[in-house]
Chains A and B, each alone.
Chain A
Amino acid sequence: MKKHFRSKFFYIISALTLAAVIFPTVLISMGHTDIFRSAVNTLFTPLKKLSLHAVDAIDGYASYFTEFDKLEEENDRLKEELTALREEVHRSKQLEEKYEWLSEYLELKMQNPQYKMKNAMVCGRESGNYGSVFMLDVGSSSGVAAGMPVVTGDGVLGYISETGVNWAKAVSLTESSSSIGAYDERSGALGILKGDYKLSAEGKCLLTYIEEGSDIKEGDRILTGGYGSIYPRGLIIGYVTEIKTDPYSRSITAVVSSSAESRRISQVMVITDYES
């Protein structure tokens, strides 16, 4: 076997090996590239490009399988994030509602500093078809008593009809049993606001006994009269949507749409005391 290390072939291949080690290293250290390395790279560059395309394709295909666990983990993480974000959105919505409510409360309080108000939450509605009686979470222990007006930032909602220690029932203005004095803000025409069985479902009521010849028009704002009523004067009731004239009595009746949209209310204020 030793003769192979003294053969001509071994000498030649050893010389070539030394040349392959020395020349490229020297040339590279001098900042040059030898022609053979350059030729090899020229030959292999397009092949490498093709190969990289193939590798990309394999990589893309393999990732469906190799990254399954990773994708599953990511999916779980994203689900958790989604749940957290939903909770946050819910919290934000609650805060927004609370903010709106407090803004209305503050505005009402600033407009009517003489009112003493008690904040209340609508915790239920009487199981009727029209939903015009509300259950509130405040009662006599909070100073709430029957006959107190219930308002929102948009206007009058109704009045307290019944109370317990920690609950109260509020009847809407649109309830057919309701009847209060009111007037047209623009013309000053007086009338009696009554609930109507048919109109209450639409959140409307009637302003009756308006004097003949009164200049009441659609769109006018109707306010509480305050005379001998449980409501203080000047609270917004709603807007006139329709005018009707009785051909026999010549009296005018106006259909009033309540400003406080009762079906969506969640918070209200009970006016416990006011200076008339």
Chain B
Amino acid sequence: MRADGNNLKRRESLNGKRKRKFGTEAGDADNEQKVTFFNKFNMWRLRFSVDGEIVLKAIVIVLMLVFFVLLQTTMFTRFRPFGSVPDLMLPFTVAVGVLEREKAGAVTGLISAFVIEAVGGATITLLPLLYMPAGYICGLLTTYRFRDSFPVMLTYTGISSILRSVITVIVALRTIFGITFVEAITDIAFPELIVNVIFAAIPHVLVRLVMRPFHKTRAERTGSE
């Protein structure tokens, strides 16, 4: 996402083309205005590296998000493995954060939390406080501290699931009448924690499979030398 040397070259080249095309050197006022607009647009586009691949990546992430929301709210609410509905959105956020780094992770976390809270019909909205930092921190840790590996992913998943259970306990104590702290832990949070860790494999594997083509070089993608 950062503007690198290639982007700067592309920017200069594009500016030169635009100037030649709209004849700014001739001093025409209208053309001057259009050039300014295109220049500004291209500057903005290049600054944020808004190219086709990023748009495609965003669409793929959104589609996966929709898929996991539906999977969680329809399939797993029906089958309820071990009597609990697994949270697929948190491992999805963590996976996106690890693979696409902190900004994508944070945005995905925020949107995932908002959507799952909205679709799930929660009365207390606390999940964005967990999901957004989870995506952001996992992305940062992958960039600066730990390489992406299975133990690292497992650690991220375990810690995030424990924090998710803490939120579950808070929400349960706040919304379920007459439930004790111990009951909230033993009857709700603990089974949920186990199920979350087990079923976290689904988002992790799917996100890796789907995002793999975006992490290949052009040569790897085209099979050229």
Contacts and interface: CB of A to CB of B under 8 A. Distances in A.
Interface of A: 1, 4, 9-10, 13-14, 16-17, 20-21, 24-25, 28-29, 36-37, 40-41, 44, 47-48, 51-52, 54-55, 58-59
Chain B, interface size category, equals 20 to 34
A20 B128 contact: yes
Contact of B129 (A10, A17, A36, A47): A17
B110 A1 contact: no
Given A4-B102, A24-B117, A47-B66, A55 B110 contact: no
Interface in B73-108: 73-75, 78-79, 102-103, 106-107
Given A44-B119, A51-B70, A16 B125 contact: no
Nearest to B135: A13
A98 B72 CA distance: 65
Given A1-B144, A55-B75, A24 B129 contact: no
Contacts of A13: 106-107, 110, 132, 136
B58 to A, nearest CB: 16
Given A17-B110, A20-B114, A48-B70, A28 B128 contact: no
B200 interface: no
A16 B132 CA distance: 10
B78 A21 contact: no
A20 B113 contact: yes
Interface of B: 66, 69-71, 73-75, 78-79, 102-103, 106-107, 110, 113-115, 117-119, 123-126, 128-129, 132, 136, 140, 143-145
Contacts of A24: 117-118, 125
A155 B132 CA distance: 97
Nearest to A29: B123
A28 B71 CA distance: 25
Given A13-B107, A24-B125, A40-B119, A51 B140 contact: no
A207 B58 CA distance: 108
Contact of A17 (B79, B102, B115, B132): B132
Nearest to A22: B125
A1 B140 contact: yes
A22 to B, nearest CB: 8
A17 B128 contact: yes
A25 B128 CA distance: 12
Contacts of B145: 1
Contact of B110 (A16, A40, A48, A58): A16
B78 A55 contact: yes
A51 B74 contact: yes
A17 B71 CA distance: 24
Contact of A21 (B70, B71, B106, B128): B128
A10 B140 CA distance: 12
B127 to A, nearest CB: 8
